[in-house]
Amino acid sequence: MDTKLDPSRDDLPLMANTSHILVKHYVLDLDVDFDSQTIDGTLVLFLESGNRSRKKSGSTEEACRSESNEACKFRKPEPCHVPVADTRTSLSKMGYNDFAICGKGERDTSGKDGNHDNQEQTYGISSSKHCCDTGNHGSENFLLVLDCCDLSVLKVEEVDVAAVPGIEKFTRSPKLTVVSELRNQIVRELVTLPADRWREQLDCYARCSQAPGCGELLFDTDTWSLQIRKTGAQTATDFPHAIRIRYRTKPQGRSVTWTSDQSGRPCVYTMGSPINNRALFPCQEPPVAMSTWQATVRAAASFVVLMSGENSAKPTQLREGRSSWHYYVTMPMPASTFTIAVGPWTEVKPETCSPSDLAAERSLSPSEADFRCVGVCGHMKYPCRFQNPSATTQEVIPHRVFAPVSLTGACQETLLQLLSPCLSAAHSVLGTHPFSRLDVLIVPANFPSLGMASPHIVFLSQSTLTGGSHLCGTRLCHEIAHAWFGLAIGARDWTEEWLSEGFATHLEDVFWAKAQQLAPHEAQEQQELRASLRWRRLQDELRNSPEQLQVLRPNKEKTGHVSDSGSSVIKHGLNPEKVFMQVHYLKGYFLLRFLARRLGDDTYFSFLRKFVHTFHGQLILSQDFLQMLLENIPEEKRLGLSVESIFRDWLESPGLPQPLQTERQAGAECGLARQVGAEVAKWNRVNRRPRKRKRRGTEEVFEKLLPDQLVLLLERLLEQKTLNPRTLRSLERTYCLSQQDAEVRHRWCELIVKHKYTTAYKTVEEFLQEDQAMGIYLYGELMVSEDARQQQLARRCFQLTKEQMDRCSAQVVAEMLF
């Protein structure tokens, strides 16, 4: 697996040469077209050359040096091809909100006629009037490499920021006579403006993004990247610091999903693809490339545009039945965290507003509040909420809920009631909310997981809305936890997923207990029960997964290392099996639980608040967390703990960590688990009972169980060799299993499949179609059974859903079925 990259199954290359030059800000100006299922428009990049830039530093040979990136070969230049689109579109009359991209009457020939996309490699032209000299731009020219896939790149040009009225205030050296140096100096001054001038900075970015072009740039694409050069620009310092890319997405692009919502109306959203956002816009994917962004998106007036943005955008009505939405972000984050969703969503509002909701609506965002320093932060400068006294005490941030019209009732009953208590619980544990507001969207049925968190927006599966508040509450707490771990604090090496998912899994239990206002002993019981469930899940997953996918720090001592250019690979990033694995959730959870128990909860969470305050707005590696933690553990409590021993036992070895095995073997079952054991014994007696009952007095009396107890009960019953139809029917009626949450119904479906309970096959079909976020494993169970009727059921359901199904999920299911 380490010898040669297999792009279709193995490692994910991050191609951007971030060691030489960094994108500091993106300005996107996009049109969403549901007829063609494309997003097209322009992207303006504002760049800053790195300290390591030097002559030839961006040469092709160095940009492609990564040993696992042998496919990146900048080809000998071919004759220039003039793009089909008109390259002389006037910019003089364009306003920011209606920035014209191209004439709408132009026909898109990008897929067929040899223009510049990630399949056909041809060069851009250096001028709209004169063909470039393609024979004299070899390795002496700096090469900007961006991560890019499944995009049609139509044109790349330098932006004449010096033409913007009033921009001369950013020129420190009026004696500069070289225009290109003047433009770059303007951008250097703009990207380094102080944090308290963020409004002025955003306005300047917007005005500069509309400036006319001043020369087209040479470009080429391959499977994973867009490569741009300017003849004569030999270093990153010489390279234009403001460039405009005109491009179009492809319907089959892997960063966005074009589908229908639960009401049958078209929508599109980013779905957390393994390739991240490189098929949405050319960008620098390595997490070290922390940037800000602003975006204007136009769509039909009947659609709502939601996005990662600090502002709660409202639509601006345009002519011809279209609307424009504008969002911005002032906190630098990796481009992979950018999220967009466009659809006919309905905002779900509470029937009555509680005092806490009103207080949240009145509270100020960090960008609107006074910017006053209340402590030193370690991150690059931005308008930080941790430095805003009013933000630090804000328990509940402003929030909105959006959903398809058919699910607004379910959102009002469940989700809306949970948001304020869950946000307040998170604040009580970790302190300042890193983000000023939150939108929650119920995404279409084909969403491949229960939830996904991005800056200022959370996607939730419709599966969280059924069967009471438990699953919705725990998943909401998990995604809220990502605001701190995964977003405000990110992993510097994406192979260390446990730094995001392990923390969110551990914190979801703590948040949920506080949101329910449980007494300490109740909270401990519920958390012990959930630990028991996760222990069973971890054991099962480790038994059924390749060892190389069980390691939380697969790069070991090379974790965080990149090539000289900044490119790297994400180990196993494209392996379809990995998408559905939970090892990094579960092992990470148990490691943090182990450490919290060693310190004591009070000491551990006090430390965690300190850690958040120290590292928010930054990228970390495992050792950053572990070293700071161990420094805060009294010597008598360390008991041999060291960063090296934790690496060895928990992060760099497959299988079950030895300390965890020791702990589970020594620990006694919690009371809630023992209660489930008693109920399992009752059901075993029922299952053994003869068909005709002797006396009514022998009937079992079953206890009412919590959702997690029901999950454990059904898992324990799955271990039984046989359960007769009469027992299964009684089980279904006793607990109203078809009305329980998706976690419970998933185990119930497994029981139906295992025992061929044909009466309830309809329940399995409904689950596979309505709960696609959790149904993948069921397809496997149906096929493993080697029962013709069950296999027919699996294939029938797949045929009904495959066109709408998430691509990775469809690939995995197809391999199971055929």
Which residues are catalytic, by number?
Answer: 479
Query: Which two structure tokens, joined as six digits, stand for 351?
Result: 């029937």
Q: What is the rounded CA–CA span in Å between residue 770 and residue 685?
A: 34
**Residue 76: CB atoms within 10 Å:** 8
Query: Which two structure tokens, joined as six digits, stand for 294?
Result: 């602003």
Sequence length of the chain is: 818
N-term to C-term CA, the chain:
25
**Residue 619: CB atoms within 10 Å:** 20
Contact 557, 525 (CB under 8 A): no
Contact 228, 217 (CB under 8 A): yes
Q: β-strand 242-249 against 151-159: which pairing, if any?
A: antiparallel
**Residue 89: CB atoms within 10 Å:** 16
258: β partners? 268
Q: What is the rounded CA–CA span in Å between residue 61 and residue 17?
A: 12
Query: Which two structure tokens, joined as six digits, stand for 616?
Result: 């928010």
The 8-class DSSP code of residue 462 comes to: G
226: β partners? 146, 221
Q: Which residues contact 129 (CB under 8 A, 6 or more apart)?
A: none
Q: Which residues contact 348 (CB under 8 A, 6 or more apart)?
A: 401, 402, 403, 408, 411, 412, 415, 416
Q: What is the rounded CA–CA span in Å between residue 258 and residue 585?
A: 29
Contact 416, 348 (CB under 8 A): yes
Contact 106, 86 (CB under 8 A): yes
The 8-class DSSP code of residue 412 comes to: I
User: 456-477: string of b/e by CB count within 10 Å (b at 16+)?
Assistant: bbbbbbbbbbbbebbbbbbbbb
- Site of tokens 């223009």: 115
Q: What is the rounded CA–CA span in Å between residue 490 and residue 484?
A: 9
Q: Is 662 exposed, middle or buried (0-12, 13-18, 19+ CB in 10 A)?
A: exposed
Amino acid at 43: L
SS3 category, 332: strand
283: β partners? 147
SS3 category, 16: coil
Q: Which residues contact 5 (CB under 8 A, 6 or more apart)?
A: 11, 13, 68, 69, 70, 71, 569
The 8-class DSSP code of residue 709 comes to: H
Q: Which of 80, 230, 224 is nearest to 144 (CA)?
A: 230
- Site of tokens 């207990």: 513
Q: Which of 201, 607, 616, 190 is nearest to 388 (CA)?
A: 616
